[in-house]
Each structure stands twice: as structure tokens, then as C-alpha cells.
Structure 1
Amino acid sequence: MGTRIVLLLLLGCSVDRAGLSVGEDGAVVGRDAGRDTFDAGDGGPIDGDDAGVDGGSMPGEDGGVDAGSDAGSDAGSDAGSDAGSDAGSSCDGLAAPTREGLVIHYNAGVGVTTGPGTDGRPAVVTWLDQSVRSNHALARDVAYEAEGFGVGRPSVRTKGLDESHLELLNPRVDDFTIFVVMRTSYRRNAGNWFDSPCILGGDGAGDLPDAALVLSDAKLGFTRQESGHGIRSSGRIDDGMPHVITTSRDGGSGDVVIRLDGSTFADGSSTTGRIEAPTNWWIGAHQDHARGRIDASFAEVRVYERRLSDAERDVVENHLRCQWID
């Protein structure tokens, strides 16, 4: 299969951006998340008429999804989404992750809409945001893997191609804590950060207040504006194993810490200030979609618009590891 990663659509109407569309035959996939609108039973697609997705988010002026739309908003703004894809599992005994400041939450076990694929797998159309922002990610040439992380653990798979990515609105964060559950065997070096495989974020044209979590030469890094590679780990993660990646930033000082599976993996400083550009963020691309490609499987993505306390961070990491890895 090449690469797998664990790191985090619109139905009943057509959504079109750069040739991407979902028609009446689109389906919502996902396991029981504690709400009957997305209960797919054994993980197979459910009929769109029963998906409970209200209308659809329309692309904004810059191609992003309108964060103010109610498309699918009742799919995940309630705390029940934290049950995730392992509702009723041994993870029930763990403390629930905080939702304070949660501005993006993608879970491959909840609210992925699909259409026909070209490689024998369903094609992801939209990854529904489970936070109150309803910042749904539109997919292009992305596959849905029903057992990407094992039985009962699905994933969303970018393919390492120039146009294989997911696109969402930039949440415009200053302080942040980002969690990504993913795995990959992909290794591609890049001389500049705007060529580096993009896990989340994205480079915009010019010296803009942009940023991204990247994976150049299979090394985790965070880059802000035109600052080369910025922070970059010495170790690689292209072992094909699932990992929980945590990245926290103090917007006032620019200090960034990247953790891997509960331990510090890299740290350093970036330029300060709010990440305001470009208008959109991506998983698997930069603003120039021919750059930033990555072949990886993603299980969950969480973005908080604040730095979580150590205790809060540990709760989220433990929850993600229990849900997707252990």
C-alpha cells in the first residue's frame, strides 16, 4: 500500500471546487459516534437521505468552505463527538479531551462523505468538522480506507500526487495546540519549506504571515513565513507506524514544541504573530497545489486556538492513542 498515517462531506447537493463534486449518490461513512445521523453500523456507507447533513457549504471567494454555513453543523458541535470512532470501547474509562478553544476537529470515524473512487476505494468528498466552526474540508483525489489503522479504525488517505489534498479555511490562530494522528512511509526531501510535504497549514505566495506543519525528508518540522525549514526534528517518522503528533505554539514568543507519541521530538522559535495567510489551509498541499504533496493516512486532526496546559495535552494524547493505536 506504500504509506499509511494516523494524524484528523457534503451530501444531498452538489459541491464543486476545481472539478471536485459530490452528487446524489454521495455517501457518509463512519462508525457509531453516539449520534444516529452518522451511525453506519459496520462501517459501510449509509444512504445520503439518512445522513442528516443539511444542505452544503459553498466555496468562498478564495475557494474555501464558508465557515458560517450550517452544512453538517449538527453532525459534530456537541460533546458527543469526543466518543469518536471507539464509542463503547475501553477508552470510555479515560477522561474526555477538552473542547475549550477547539476550532477544527476531523475524525475519520465520524462524518466522512464519499463518492465513487477510481482505484477500488471510495473517494473522500468532504471531511466534516466536528467543532463548532463547521470548517469542513473538501477533498480532491483522496481515498477513504475502511480499515486504514486496523479493524474498525478507518483513515483518510492522501496519495502523494500533485492534486491529492484536503482544503479548509485557515482558522487564523496565534497561540495553538495541534494534534495529528497519522502514519506514513513517505520520504521526500525539499530544499525549501514551500516544497515540503504539508501535514497541515500551507505556504502562500510571497512573504506572508503563513505557516505549516511539514514533513521534509520524513522529518517533522514547523515553518513560519519565509524562514527556511524553521524547526525540524532530527529523527524521522517514515516507519509506516501510527503516531500521535502534537505541536504547540506561543504566538507572543514564537516558541514551538513538537511532540511525538507523548515525548518532545523537536523545539525552537518561529516569528511571532497571528497566522493570517493564506485564506485556506491544506492537508497534503500548499497554495500552489503542485507543492506539498504527501502520501499518508490520517485518522484524526484537532486544532485548538490556545496552548493547552500540560494536563489537558496529556489527556488528549492518551485519548488519541487509545482510540487509534493501542
Structure 2
Amino acid sequence: MEKLKREKACRLSDEFFQNVMKKYGHVGRRIKRAIEILFSMPEYGTWPSVKTFNIVVSLLVSNKLFDVVHEVYVKAPNLGVEIEACTLNILIKGLCENGKLEFAFQLLDEFPKQRCKPNVRTYTTLMHGLCDKGKVDEAFELMGRMETEGIDADAVSFNILISGLRKQGRIDEGVKLLEIMKKKGCYPNAGSYQQVLYGLLDAARFMEAKEIMGRMVFERVNPSFDSYKKLIHGFCQGKMVKVVDWALKQMVRHGFVPKMGMWIRLLTVLLQGIRTTLVITVYLVKSSIASSVRC
């Protein structure tokens, strides 16, 4: 680097400096050196782009060096860098992850000062921070504010709210939110359904979980292995053999192999006098593992 600066044999690109900073920050763990490289770029005849500036800001945030972040942030004009929404979003994310929600919300006032607007990522980050603090109702209010400002909520926004509701045991509200998503033109994804499904399973509402799982299968969204495991264990507790049979077949159809603990549970139910139709399913599933099912 010193030789290149001294000889000025070639003009170094912005991308070159981005790679150098990443190497210092992520590989060498020399973040101070990455900052020095950022501010020395004009000496090489190259001025940093906002993307390059954001790489250093992200490095500092991920390492929780918030005092240094502020020092770098206020010097952006010296480098000719115009702050953008992405820069502020990185700062907001770092503050939320460290529980400093008050300061994160104060950064919303910084957007107009920097002639940029908050986007859906800005609000979803703040909503996530609120939900982590158990402030789900405030997160809903923030979504309302976002929509008032003409920013459409995406699946990530709704998933954060559904997850927050699940943590508070507000399962029915999470189920309703799936329908609200569709009405607003935002189709639920695997994460949306999975959060509702986990909530129902945690509450031991297994038949309702089966219904949601059926909707997922119909809409070509595959439930997770843990979902099937919890559902089958719940059905075994209730000795509901017919639905156990359905869940087991669906599980295998989606490429999951029941593990030893599940087989023991299923066989225990059989030996307690449950109808023998499950025996056939168990036999067929075990015989097909080697050829048609992957772990």
C-alpha cells in the first residue's frame, strides 16, 4: 500500500479499497487499520463511495464500537460522502441490537437532515427491536406510521409482528395477521406460516396446527422437521392415530426421516392398543428410507 501511494503507478479503484478494508476488518481483525485506509484514500487519488463508507460503519457496528462510529460518521463530509438511508439503517440496527432503542428512534430525525427518507428496512429494524423488548403493540403502531408515510409493509415486517405475538402467547392474533397480510397484497411466506405454526404447537393446539400445515402444503410451502416432530408427538399424546398417520406420510413426502426417538414414541402408541393402520405406515416409511428419503 505504501509503495503504491509513493509510486502512483496506477489509479486504485473504489472496489480495491473495499476489499482491503474487508480483509483488515473481517480477516485480520484490525479495524483501526481499516478506518485509516478509508481516510487515506484521497492520498491515493481515489475518493470513497458511500458503499465503501458503509463497509467501515458496518464493521464498527458489528464490533459494537459505537463511540468510534460517531467519530467516523461526522467526518463523512470530509471524504465527500453523502449519507444515505443504508448508512443510517446500519446505525439503527446496531443500536437496536444493543437495546438502545431510544437512540435508534432519535436517528429517524437524522433522515431529513441528510436529505434521505426512511425505508421499509428502517422500520422493520425498529419493529424488531421493539418486539425483542416485548413492546409488540408499539411495533404495530410503528407499522401504522410506516404505512401512513406511504411505505408498504413486506413479509419481513409481518413476520416480525407474528413472531412477537407468538412470544407473548397471542396466537389467535398471529393467525388473523396471516389473513390481513393477504388483504394488503403481501402474501405470507414460509417464515409467516412457520411462526404461526410454532405458536399453535407451543400452545398444544394440534388440530389447528394440522390445519395450518395443510394450508402450507397446499400452497407449496414446506413445514420444518421440528414442526412435524412436535405435531406427531402431540398427536401421540392424544392417541389420535389417524392424524398421526397423515402427519407421518406428509413428513416423509417432504424428505424428512423420523429419528429414533420418534419411532419409539410411535411404537409405544401402537403397543398401547391403538389401531394397527399405523403399523403399515411405519413399515412402508422405514423400508423407503434408503431409496427415497434424505436426512
Give TM-score scaled by structure 1 length: 0.27
Which structure: greater strand fraction?
Answer: 1
The structure showing larger relative contact order (alpha-carbon pairs under 8 Å, at least 6 residues apart) is 1
Higher Rg: 2
